[in-house]
Amino acid sequence: MKFDTDRLNNIISNITAKDSFSRSYIIEEGEDEIRTDFIEKLVSGIECESEYPEKRPCGKCGSCRQIAAGTSMDVYHMNMSGKNSYKTEDAVAMLDRLRMGSYGRYVIGIIDDADSLSEIIQNKLLKTLEEPEAGAIIILGSSNKDRLLKTVRSRCTVIRVSDYTIHQEKEILKKENLHEIVEMITGGEIFFYELREKIAKNINTRQDAEELIGLLEDEYRHRMIYGTSREDMADAINTAESALKDIKSGMDYNKALKRLVLEVQ
Ligand SMILES: [Zn+2]
Protein backbone atom coordinates (compact mmCIF):
# COMPACT_ATOMS: atom_id res chain seq x y z
CA MET A 1 0.00 0.00 0.00
CA LYS A 2 1.33 3.37 -0.93
CA PHE A 3 0.16 6.87 -0.23
CA ASP A 4 -1.91 8.77 -2.67
CA THR A 5 -0.18 12.15 -2.97
CA ASP A 6 -3.26 14.30 -2.43
CA ARG A 7 -4.25 12.41 0.68
CA LEU A 8 -0.74 12.52 2.04
CA ASN A 9 -0.67 16.28 1.52
CA ASN A 10 -3.95 16.61 3.38
CA ILE A 11 -2.69 14.67 6.35
CA ILE A 12 0.50 16.70 6.52
CA SER A 13 -1.41 19.97 6.12
CA ASN A 14 -3.52 19.05 9.12
CA ILE A 15 -0.36 18.76 11.14
CA THR A 16 1.50 21.75 9.74
CA ALA A 17 -1.40 24.19 9.36
CA LYS A 18 -1.41 24.82 13.08
CA ASP A 19 2.04 26.32 12.82
CA SER A 20 2.91 25.20 16.32
CA PHE A 21 5.11 22.20 15.93
CA SER A 22 6.36 19.76 18.47
CA ARG A 23 10.08 19.97 18.94
CA SER A 24 10.54 16.28 18.41
CA TYR A 25 8.58 13.64 16.58
CA ILE A 26 8.61 9.90 16.25
CA ILE A 27 7.19 8.80 12.93
CA GLU A 28 6.22 5.16 13.31
CA GLU A 29 5.67 3.06 10.19
CA GLY A 30 6.91 -0.39 9.31
CA GLU A 31 7.24 0.13 5.56
CA ASP A 32 10.44 2.03 4.84
CA GLU A 33 9.21 3.67 1.66
CA ILE A 34 6.01 5.01 3.20
CA ARG A 35 7.88 6.22 6.27
CA THR A 36 10.47 8.03 4.15
CA ASP A 37 7.76 9.66 2.01
CA PHE A 38 5.88 10.74 5.08
CA ILE A 39 8.94 12.26 6.73
CA GLU A 40 9.89 14.16 3.58
CA LYS A 41 6.39 15.61 3.30
CA LEU A 42 6.29 16.50 6.97
CA VAL A 43 9.64 18.26 6.65
CA SER A 44 8.36 20.15 3.59
CA GLY A 45 5.24 21.13 5.48
CA ILE A 46 7.28 22.46 8.38
CA GLU A 47 9.71 24.39 6.18
CA CYS A 48 7.22 25.55 3.54
CA GLU A 49 7.15 29.30 2.99
CA SER A 50 3.59 29.46 1.67
CA GLU A 51 1.66 32.23 3.38
CA TYR A 52 -1.38 29.97 3.51
CA PRO A 53 -0.76 27.48 6.32
CA GLU A 54 -3.39 25.07 5.03
CA LYS A 55 -1.54 24.84 1.70
CA ARG A 56 1.71 23.63 3.27
CA PRO A 57 3.57 21.85 1.80
CA CYS A 58 2.87 23.88 -1.34
CA GLY A 59 5.46 22.04 -3.42
CA LYS A 60 6.30 25.28 -5.22
CA CYS A 61 8.21 27.57 -2.88
CA GLY A 62 11.99 27.59 -2.62
CA SER A 63 12.01 25.47 0.55
CA CYS A 64 9.66 22.83 -0.83
CA ARG A 65 11.71 22.56 -4.01
CA GLN A 66 15.01 22.30 -2.19
CA ILE A 67 13.66 19.58 0.06
CA ALA A 68 12.35 17.62 -2.92
CA ALA A 69 15.75 17.96 -4.57
CA GLY A 70 17.58 17.00 -1.38
CA THR A 71 19.52 20.26 -1.31
CA SER A 72 17.98 22.04 1.68
CA MET A 73 20.60 23.47 4.04
CA ASP A 74 18.12 23.23 6.91
CA VAL A 75 17.50 19.50 6.69
CA TYR A 76 20.16 17.33 8.24
CA HIS A 77 19.96 13.56 7.89
CA MET A 78 21.98 11.95 10.62
CA ASN A 79 24.77 10.02 9.00
CA MET A 80 25.08 6.32 9.74
CA SER A 81 28.82 5.75 9.78
CA GLY A 82 28.77 2.27 11.27
CA LYS A 83 27.69 -0.79 9.35
CA ASN A 84 23.92 -0.72 9.94
CA SER A 85 24.44 1.31 13.09
CA TYR A 86 24.91 4.85 14.22
CA LYS A 87 28.04 5.92 16.02
CA THR A 88 28.24 8.48 18.78
CA GLU A 89 30.06 10.92 16.50
CA ASP A 90 27.10 10.79 14.10
CA ALA A 91 24.86 12.14 16.84
CA VAL A 92 27.44 14.71 17.88
CA ALA A 93 27.68 16.02 14.31
CA MET A 94 23.91 16.34 14.04
CA LEU A 95 23.58 18.11 17.38
CA ASP A 96 26.36 20.51 16.33
CA ARG A 97 24.46 21.32 13.16
CA LEU A 98 21.19 21.90 15.05
CA ARG A 99 22.98 24.25 17.41
CA MET A 100 24.05 26.44 14.48
CA GLY A 101 20.45 27.44 13.85
CA SER A 102 18.38 27.65 10.70
CA TYR A 103 18.67 29.51 7.42
CA GLY A 104 14.93 29.30 6.77
CA ARG A 105 12.10 28.63 9.20
CA TYR A 106 13.53 25.69 11.14
CA VAL A 107 16.54 23.44 11.18
CA ILE A 108 15.47 19.81 11.20
CA GLY A 109 17.51 16.79 12.24
CA ILE A 110 16.24 13.49 10.85
CA ILE A 111 17.22 10.12 12.27
CA ASP A 112 15.64 7.44 10.15
CA ASP A 113 15.97 3.87 11.40
CA ALA A 114 16.03 5.28 14.90
CA ASP A 115 15.34 1.71 16.06
CA SER A 116 19.01 0.98 15.52
CA LEU A 117 20.22 3.74 17.84
CA SER A 118 22.17 2.33 20.77
CA GLU A 119 21.03 3.17 24.29
CA ILE A 120 24.13 5.30 24.73
CA ILE A 121 23.24 7.48 21.75
CA GLN A 122 19.59 7.68 22.74
CA ASN A 123 20.66 8.91 26.15
CA LYS A 124 22.91 11.43 24.48
CA LEU A 125 19.96 12.75 22.46
CA LEU A 126 17.68 13.01 25.48
CA LYS A 127 18.68 16.47 26.57
CA THR A 128 18.18 17.88 23.07
CA LEU A 129 14.85 16.09 22.66
CA GLU A 130 13.73 17.74 25.85
CA GLU A 131 15.03 21.23 25.17
CA PRO A 132 16.06 21.59 21.55
CA GLU A 133 17.78 24.77 20.43
CA ALA A 134 15.36 27.48 19.36
CA GLY A 135 14.15 26.71 15.85
CA ALA A 136 15.36 23.12 15.91
CA ILE A 137 13.16 20.08 15.37
CA ILE A 138 14.20 16.44 15.57
CA ILE A 139 12.37 13.70 13.68
CA LEU A 140 12.95 10.04 14.47
CA GLY A 141 11.74 7.48 11.98
CA SER A 142 10.93 4.14 13.57
CA SER A 143 9.33 0.92 12.46
CA ASN A 144 8.31 0.19 16.04
CA LYS A 145 8.53 2.89 18.65
CA ASP A 146 8.66 0.32 21.45
CA ARG A 147 12.23 -0.37 20.44
CA LEU A 148 13.16 3.12 21.60
CA LEU A 149 13.85 3.98 25.22
CA LYS A 150 10.80 5.00 27.18
CA THR A 151 12.51 8.24 28.13
CA VAL A 152 12.95 9.05 24.44
CA ARG A 153 9.35 8.16 23.56
CA SER A 154 7.94 10.29 26.32
CA ARG A 155 9.66 13.39 24.97
CA CYS A 156 8.37 13.05 21.42
CA THR A 157 5.06 13.46 19.67
CA VAL A 158 4.33 10.07 18.17
CA ILE A 159 2.67 9.90 14.75
CA ARG A 160 1.62 6.42 13.70
CA VAL A 161 1.35 6.66 9.94
CA SER A 162 -0.86 3.56 9.78
CA ASP A 163 -3.51 5.33 11.85
CA TYR A 164 -3.98 7.63 8.90
CA THR A 165 -3.58 5.19 6.04
CA ILE A 166 -5.77 2.36 7.31
CA HIS A 167 -8.44 4.71 8.50
CA GLN A 168 -8.55 6.61 5.20
CA GLU A 169 -8.33 3.44 3.16
CA LYS A 170 -11.36 2.10 5.03
CA GLU A 171 -13.34 5.29 4.60
CA ILE A 172 -12.74 5.30 0.86
CA LEU A 173 -13.60 1.63 0.55
CA LYS A 174 -16.78 2.12 2.50
CA LYS A 175 -17.86 5.01 0.28
CA GLU A 176 -17.20 2.91 -2.81
CA ASN A 177 -19.28 0.07 -1.45
CA LEU A 178 -22.16 2.37 -0.58
CA HIS A 179 -22.13 3.79 -4.10
CA GLU A 180 -22.18 0.28 -5.52
CA ILE A 181 -25.22 -0.56 -3.41
CA VAL A 182 -26.97 2.58 -4.66
CA GLU A 183 -26.18 1.55 -8.23
CA MET A 184 -27.60 -1.91 -7.62
CA ILE A 185 -30.80 -0.52 -6.16
CA THR A 186 -31.30 2.06 -8.89
CA GLY A 187 -29.81 0.08 -11.78
CA GLY A 188 -33.09 -1.33 -13.04
CA GLU A 189 -31.98 -4.93 -12.91
CA ILE A 190 -32.91 -6.89 -9.85
CA PHE A 191 -30.24 -8.92 -8.18
CA PHE A 192 -31.80 -9.34 -4.84
CA TYR A 193 -29.44 -11.92 -3.38
CA GLU A 194 -26.31 -10.02 -4.27
CA LEU A 195 -27.86 -6.86 -3.00
CA ARG A 196 -28.88 -8.45 0.27
CA GLU A 197 -25.41 -9.87 0.73
CA LYS A 198 -23.73 -6.60 -0.04
CA ILE A 199 -25.96 -4.74 2.35
CA ALA A 200 -25.36 -7.29 5.10
CA LYS A 201 -21.62 -6.99 4.61
CA ASN A 202 -21.34 -3.22 4.45
CA ILE A 203 -24.12 -1.80 6.53
CA ASN A 204 -23.17 -2.49 10.10
CA THR A 205 -24.55 0.45 12.01
CA ARG A 206 -27.51 2.77 11.97
CA GLN A 207 -25.20 5.52 10.69
CA ASP A 208 -24.21 3.33 7.73
CA ALA A 209 -27.87 2.82 6.88
CA GLU A 210 -28.61 6.53 7.13
CA GLU A 211 -25.61 7.35 4.95
CA LEU A 212 -26.76 4.84 2.36
CA ILE A 213 -30.28 6.25 2.25
CA GLY A 214 -28.82 9.76 1.93
CA LEU A 215 -26.81 8.68 -1.12
CA LEU A 216 -29.82 6.93 -2.56
CA GLU A 217 -31.91 10.09 -2.23
CA ASP A 218 -29.16 12.13 -3.90
CA GLU A 219 -29.26 9.73 -6.82
CA TYR A 220 -33.07 9.95 -7.11
CA ARG A 221 -32.92 13.74 -6.96
CA HIS A 222 -30.30 13.75 -9.66
CA ARG A 223 -32.50 11.53 -11.83
CA MET A 224 -35.50 13.70 -11.12
CA ILE A 225 -33.68 16.71 -12.55
CA TYR A 226 -31.90 15.02 -15.45
CA GLY A 227 -33.92 11.87 -16.00
CA THR A 228 -37.31 11.19 -17.45
CA SER A 229 -39.74 9.82 -14.89
CA ARG A 230 -40.19 12.63 -12.42
CA GLU A 231 -43.12 11.04 -10.66
CA ASP A 232 -41.41 7.72 -10.04
CA MET A 233 -38.44 9.53 -8.62
CA ALA A 234 -40.62 11.62 -6.36
CA ASP A 235 -42.24 8.43 -5.07
CA ALA A 236 -38.85 6.83 -4.53
CA ILE A 237 -37.65 9.87 -2.60
CA ASN A 238 -40.71 9.69 -0.39
CA THR A 239 -40.09 6.00 0.27
CA ALA A 240 -36.47 6.73 1.15
CA GLU A 241 -37.53 9.58 3.42
CA SER A 242 -39.96 7.40 5.33
CA ALA A 243 -37.34 4.66 5.72
CA LEU A 244 -35.03 7.27 7.17
CA LYS A 245 -37.77 8.41 9.52
CA ASP A 246 -38.40 4.80 10.60
CA ILE A 247 -34.73 4.30 11.41
CA LYS A 248 -34.52 7.55 13.30
CA SER A 249 -37.56 6.62 15.36
CA GLY A 250 -35.97 3.36 16.41
CA MET A 251 -36.90 0.76 13.79
CA ASP A 252 -34.23 -1.87 13.14
CA TYR A 253 -32.22 -0.52 10.22
CA ASN A 254 -32.00 -3.89 8.50
CA LYS A 255 -35.75 -4.17 8.47
CA ALA A 256 -36.21 -0.62 7.23
CA LEU A 257 -33.64 -1.12 4.45
CA LYS A 258 -35.21 -4.38 3.35
CA ARG A 259 -38.59 -2.75 3.04
CA LEU A 260 -37.13 0.21 1.23
CA VAL A 261 -35.35 -1.96 -1.30
CA LEU A 262 -38.50 -4.00 -2.00
CA GLU A 263 -40.62 -0.91 -2.46
CA VAL A 264 -38.34 1.02 -4.79
CA GLN A 265 -37.29 -1.84 -7.04
ZN1 LIG B 1 6.25 25.33 -0.01
Ligand 1 centroid to residue 100 C-alpha, Å: 23
Ligand 1 centroid to residue 33 C-alpha, Å: 22
Ligand 1 centroid to residue 34 C-alpha, Å: 21
Ligand 1 centroid to residue 148 C-alpha, Å: 32
In this structure, CATH architecture of domain 5-155:
3-Layer(aba) Sandwich (3.40)
Residue 236 phi/psi, 5-degree rounding, is -60, -40
Ligand 1 centroid to residue 152 C-alpha, Å: 30
Ligand 1 centroid to residue 145 C-alpha, Å: 29
Ligand 1 centroid to residue 132 C-alpha, Å: 24
Per-residue pLDDT of the chain (265 residues; tens, 9 = 90+): 455 666 667 777 777 777 677 889 999 999 998 899 899 999 999 999 998 888 888 999 999 999 999 999 999 999 999 988 999 999 999 999 999 999 998 999 999 999 999 999 999 999 888 888 889 999 999 999 999 999 999 999 898 888 777 666 677 788 888 998 998 888 877 678 888 889 999 999 999 999 999 999 988 988 888 776 788 888 999 999 999 999 999 999 999 999 998 888 7
Ligand 1 centroid to residue 105 C-alpha, Å: 11
Ligand 1 centroid to residue 46 C-alpha, Å: 9
Ligand 1 centroid to residue 157 C-alpha, Å: 23
Kindly list the domain boundaries of the chain, sorted by start residue: 5-155, 167-264
Angle at 49 between CA 46 and CA 51, to 5 degrees: 110
Ligand 1 centroid to residue 61 C-alpha, Å: 4
Ligand 1 centroid to residue 10 C-alpha, Å: 14
Report the relative pairing of strands 157-160 and 136-142 from DSSP bridges: unpaired
Ligand 1 centroid to residue 56 C-alpha, Å: 6
Ligand 1 centroid to residue 183 C-alpha, Å: 41
